Amino acid sequence: KVMADAAQSNPRKPVVGSWLMLPGASLARMTAQMGYDFVLVDCEHGDIADAAMHASVGAIAAQGVSPIVRIPAPENWLVKRTLDTGAHGILCPMMSTVEDARALVSYAKFPALKDKRTAEMVSGVRGVGSPFAPAVFGMGMGEYVATANRNTFIAVQIETVEGLNNCEEIAKVDGVDMLFIGPNDLASSMGYPPLEHPNIPEVQEAIKRVLGAAKAAGKYAGMFCTAAEQVQARFEQGFDLMNLGADVIALGVWNAVELGKLKNI
């Protein structure tokens, strides 16, 4: 809801978040307090195991900020364990086919209820049982099950050549809310040095294609960014949601700047 409010605001505003690769409720809480719309907990490449994921998600949500978790892979049990923490949404890396996107959506949605609360919505196979997710939302189990299908945000990463070639069809999958570009992996999959993606025209063209696919399907578009100028430029290009760097990037930048100053003493 936090993200939807920002994305649908008039005038249009970017949805901006931070990205955590380190565990710890204190880090998550302090990051969430900084004024972001969402904080992403990276369980694909981050040093964040199950218990730490629970602690981070709870700490972020308690600040009125959306906790989104990047799962390691599109597996049913990973989606279940992630949404069971009370995460508001998932980001799934390496999404390359329509079949995988449909399966992901089904893992993330409960079977639809026969009444009007969710009957019209995408139905899935998510298991009922976590007491933690309702607690994070301040609800009882019944209310959580009746509202989660509507409120669970599903973002898929387009970051392979196969995903790029299927992005128009992936964007159309019911229940997929956002295409999110991982520019480093996309460049890598195209055979380029990942960090050089800003200067590679073919990668920039691919990024435009994914943005166009999301918009044509009426879905949100997101992109991994590492600096404010990138967030601004991608927002102006039409993207809705960006992260402003990550905890480890901030750590690296600050230390490099300050250590650099010491060398001049």
**Interface with ligand 3PY by CB under 6 A: which residues?**
157, 159, 182-185, 224
Cα–Cα distance between 207 and 162 in angstroms, integer? Answer: 14
* Torsion from C-alpha of 177, 119, 81, 211, nearest 10 degrees: -10
Distance of closest approach, residue 65 Cβ to ligand 3PY, in angstroms: 20
Q: Return the H-helix or E-strand segment holding 149.
A: helix 141-151
What is the number of H-type helices and E-type strands within the chain? 13, 8
Cβ atoms of residues 244 and 16 within 8 Å:
yes
Distance of closest approach, residue 129 Cβ to ligand 3PY, in angstroms: 31
Count Cα neighbours of 228 within 13 Å in the Cβ-side half-sphere.
2
If the CB atoms of residues 130 and 230 are measured against ligand 3PY, the closer one turns out to be: 230
Cα–Cα distance between 63 and 65 in angstroms, integer? Answer: 5
Q: Which residue has its beta carbon closest to ligand 3PY?
A: 182
Residue with tokens 């300050």: 258
Distance of closest approach, residue 184 Cβ to ligand 3PY, in angstroms: 3
If the CB atoms of residues 85 and 160 are measured against ligand 3PY, the closer one turns out to be: 160
| 54 catalytic residue (yes or no) | no
If the CB atoms of residues 84 and 185 are measured against ligand 3PY, the closer one turns out to be: 185
Distance of closest approach, residue 137 Cβ to ligand 3PY, in angstroms: 28
If the CB atoms of residues 65 and 187 are measured against ligand 3PY, the closer one turns out to be: 187
Q: Which residues of 187-219 are buried (b: 16+ CB within 10 A; e: fewer)?
A: bbbbebebeebeebeebeebbeebbebbbebeb
If the CB atoms of residues 56 and 184 are measured against ligand 3PY, the closer one turns out to be: 184
Distance of closest approach, residue 157 Cβ to ligand 3PY, in angstroms: 6
Tell me, what amino acid is at 220?
Y
- Catalytic positions are 45
